[in-house]
Amino acid sequence: MKLKLSALIVAIVVCASLSAQAQKKKKYYPKPKSSKYVKKPNQKAVKSAPSWLNEGTTLVYEITSAGKTYNYTVHVRSINNGYNFDFEMAAPINNNGTVIVSKWAADSAMTLDNYFNTGINKMEVESALFLSRAMMEIISIKGQAPIMVDGIADNWRFSPENLMATPTYKGKNLPIAQICLEGTMSNRLICVLENNNFPLITAMKGDVNIKLIEIK
């Protein structure tokens, strides 16, 4: 009987010792933090376009070039499966036409073209009016991206400067979230809507200055 009692006491002591060790181990191996605290490259990306940007939206830009100022008006026809829009450039340019950006270009292009011919302009490998989703993705992850803008190659990165386009919408100023990119080899800026799926150009600064002034 004494032997059984001694064995029981030893078993209790061993169990208590193991339990204490387990408690110590817990202190050295804390539970991992929730994934919500981990910053992801596209954490701020917005999937849908803002309510004011859709089929039928009219965008009015003010352009200043070579000492002359004129309006550039865009009539959005579609932002699904690529971009499709009509444009009108006032005097002294007096140009108008249609731009059709392919779905591939809207998703993957590393070239941006802002010069259009009269009539229909089919853009299979260049984006227009919007930066491509790939441009925003690469800059978000790598910090910069090689982008050809109007025939000039440059490396673009996020810029602390913001041209702060504040267009009017329904008679009132519309504050919109924007981010700006700067060319590392030039003194150029491009500001876009802070939306990685629909990075609409809101302003540009360089040889030609562009700013979104009205949304209809």
Measured at the alpha carbon of residue 199, what is the angle toward residues 37 and 214, in degrees to the nearest 5?
125
How would residue 187 be classed by pLDDT, with cut points 50, 70 and 90?
confident
Indicate whether this model's pTM tops 0.85. Answer: no
Long-range contact set of residues 114-121: C-beta below 8 Å, sequence gap at least 24: 114/149, 114/150, 114/204, 114/208, 114/210, 115/150, 116/87, 121/97
Residue 94 within any structural domain of the chain: yes
Q: Which of 83, 90, 169, 96 is nearest to 132 (CA)?
A: 83
Q: Which of 94, 89, 5, 59 is nearest to 169 (CA)?
A: 59
Residue 178, amino acid: Q
pLDDT of residue 23: 42
Q: What is the mean pLDDT of the chain?
A: 83
Residue 53 within any structural domain of the chain: no
pLDDT of residue 161: 85
pLDDT of residue 7: 44
How would residue 71 be classed by pLDDT, with cut points 50, 70 and 90?
very high
Stated as kind and residue range, the H or E segment containing 88 is: strand 83-89
pLDDT of residue 54: 94
Residues of the chain with pLDDT > 70, as a percent, come to 78
Residue 193 within any structural domain of the chain: yes
Domain hosting 168: range is 58-215
Query: What is the spatial distance between Cα 61 and Cα 71, in angstroms, rounded to a whole number?
Result: 6
Average pLDDT over residues 155-177: 91
Q: Number of structural domains, the chain?
A: 1
Average pLDDT over residues 80-100: 95
Residue 189 within any structural domain of the chain: yes
Residue 152 within any structural domain of the chain: yes
How would residue 47 be classed by pLDDT, with cut points 50, 70 and 90?
low
Residues 63-80, buried b or exposed e (16+ Cβ, 10 A)?
A: beeeeeeeebbbbbeebe
Residue 42 within any structural domain of the chain: no
pLDDT of residue 186: 87
With 60 as the cut, is the pLDDT of residue 4 above it? no
Residue 181 within any structural domain of the chain: yes
With 90 as the cut, is the pLDDT of residue 3 above it? no
Q: Please give the residue that has the higher pLDDT: either 16 or 172.
A: 172
Residue 183 within any structural domain of the chain: yes
Provide φ and ψ at 86, rounded to 5°: -95, 150
With 70 as the cut, is the pLDDT of residue 36 above it? no
Average pLDDT over residues 97-120: 96
Query: What is the spatial distance between Cα 173 and Cα 165, in angstroms, rounded to a whole number?
Result: 10
